[in-house]
Structure 1
């Protein structure tokens, strides 16, 4: 009997979430006082439902975090505990340098893909080695870790948990990642490594200020095997209007295995947010994190936040919706989902 490999959907049961903590050696150096509270709020929200793995290059800060968060979780009677790992890191985007876990006959294997900072845009050597540090520290118990000679970021793929992947051609086909591979070769690799039986390619859509070449987790997300939510820009004068309208048409053309269209839910378009250099930042409500019993939703202190909370509440009626202000995160061109990586049930045990 052939073993079945699958990339679990994000709503599948989890054991932990991985965070790579900001430190003075990262681009967060000038705004640690602003961004650390966001990481702490994310951490406390996760510990209400499951364990948390934190790595940090600064050991003293890491020890303080482990002590304080575990003490807080214990006082609250929460199920989650912190597993702290001292490890070097270039940055904090765990979604993209973290391990991607597949299940083979329900047995987990962590895949350590190569990471090159979205096509060599920034230093990456420490981040590329981080998963091995975590594994060598024993974080993942007996689950094996495979090194994969293929550049892939977790934010570039979405899984329905049933063999269908959603991605963007702008990201996976860019020559700065896997230059020697065409679309067919990439599809074959994703089939072998992640058990992908079908790949849905979005050929349109982008966010200004995005360094990732249009990661799918900023644009469109599986909410269930038959349901996709996505960002839409209603302002015809906005630079995003045409590309996101074309992306919406891509989504309308997609079909499920049985030939029926997907259920589609449009997410609000937040008011523009600009950085200190007046560059537009990639704020998006699609960058939420699904965990056991909850959805952590990035909000930005803009009028559309309330509508986003309402829509996500209707999409996930059986989960608590926890809004977290991520205006500080988006200053470095990412958001909530970008700084987290979930680990399936049965891997991290404390």
Structure 2
């Protein structure tokens, strides 16, 4: 009997891929490295990190940077492999429990429907030193596209999973059946509304609405009727309220961050829903804007025993992702 593991399942640690000049971070490299070091500092005091980098020179650079920051590297495992970019959420393995066994599922990653080169990212899971069985699937699926309460319910968006750039030959019924069989889910909760400007993922659910625990959903709320996001996010809020009424869920609104723009004037997909749950913490992306504290307070109110820790991820949205997008939690026994 298969079961997709929720994020709060006890973890071995987190998968990351280091930003370097061969990735899209070339123009923001110093800021990107600082952000990744902040993430490492927030993780390595209580979890392991499997950090992928491109070569031995970069590995030495990482260890020097970690030491300079005074970060304890005992739980840091750096491995050398090739990759296109650093969005570990979407090419990293998805963990399930299959009876007594924990397994890792390796889905096909196509750069969000062929928008970007992804051949090396798609091959990466096969090169990493897993201690758990790795099962490969032809289905195109990214980790950021799905979330679960751990009780057989899968939260996702039709705009992503039903997008013709993902699995065009599958009907919704066929896709649903594959997801149920492979992930061990019983019901799929489809959202039909909500998407952030500047989002390359076609509305990944991890930018919009997330389980904090089995009965709590945090979601992006827009209260400014003049904001371009208002109609879609208001409609999504109604969908979530309907789910909450049906399934006895608590909804926690997270303010849409103050509008952030790149140098070219395009709006960036800033979101507080892109948080990461670890064994002891909830790491929350912040952007240096006046809505940050409000989001931290909202998540602190439902964090239970976990400590809410802010990580400045302003640089990450320059490449249209955030904290959850660059991390993938790994279950106990993974390495």
- Shorter-chain TM-score: which interval? over 0.9
Residue 92 of structure 2 corresponds to residue 98 of structure 1: yes
Shift of 1:223: 1.2
Shift of 1:308: 0.9
Paired residue for 2:322? 335
Secondary structure of the residue aligned to 2:283 is strand
Paired residue for 1:239? 228
Q: Equivalent of 1:120, from 114, 123, 126?
A: 114
Give the whole-Å Cα distance in 1 for the aligned partners of 2:63 and 2:14: 14
Q: Equivalent of 2:263, from 254, 257, 276?
A: 276
Deviations 1:149-205 (A, max 9, x none): 110000000011111110000000001111101111111011111001011000000
Q: Equivalent of 2:276, from 286, 289, 311?
A: 289
Secondary structure of the residue aligned to 2:258 is coil
Secondary structure of the residue aligned to 2:295 is helix
Paired residue for 1:317? 304
Secondary structure of the residue aligned to 2:138 is strand
C-alpha change, 1:47 and 1:70, in structure 2 (3 Å) is farther
1:217, 1:287 within 8 Å by CA — same for their partners in 2? yes
Summarize the alignment of residues 219-258 of structure 1 with structure 2, pairs less than 5 Å apart. Answer: 219-254=208-243
Paired residue for 1:299? 286
Give the whole-Å Cα distance in 2 for the aligned partners of 1:230 and 1:85: 35
Paired residue for 2:204? 215
Summarize the alignment of residues 70-81 of structure 1 with structure 2, pairs less than 5 Å apart. Answer: 81=75
Deviations 1:67-116 (A, max 9, x none): 6648978x85x8x6111111111110000011111111241111110000
Secondary structure of the residue aligned to 1:323 is strand
Summarize the alignment of residues 14-163 of structure 1 with structure 2, pairs less than 5 Å apart. Answer: 14-66=11-63, 69=66, 81-134=75-128, 138=129, 140-141=130-131, 143-163=132-152
2:221, 2:256 within 8 Å by CA — same for their partners in 1? yes
Structure 2: tracts of 5 or more residues without a match = none
Residue 160 of structure 2 corresponds to residue 178 of structure 1: no
Count of residue correspondences = 335
Give the whole-Å Cα distance in 1 for the aligned partners of 2:100 and 2:217: 25
Structure 1: tracts of 5 or more residues without a match = none
1:309, 1:321 within 8 Å by CA — same for their partners in 2? yes
Give the whole-Å Cα distance in 1 for the aligned partners of 2:242 and 2:176: 20
Q: Which moved more, 1:57-66 or 1:82-91?
A: 57-66
RMSD: 1.6
Give the whole-Å Cα distance in 2 for the aligned partners of 1:340 and 1:194: 20
Give the whole-Å Cα distance in 2 for the aligned partners of 1:255 and 1:329: 31
Deviations 1:268-289 (A, max 9, x none): 1211000011000000000000
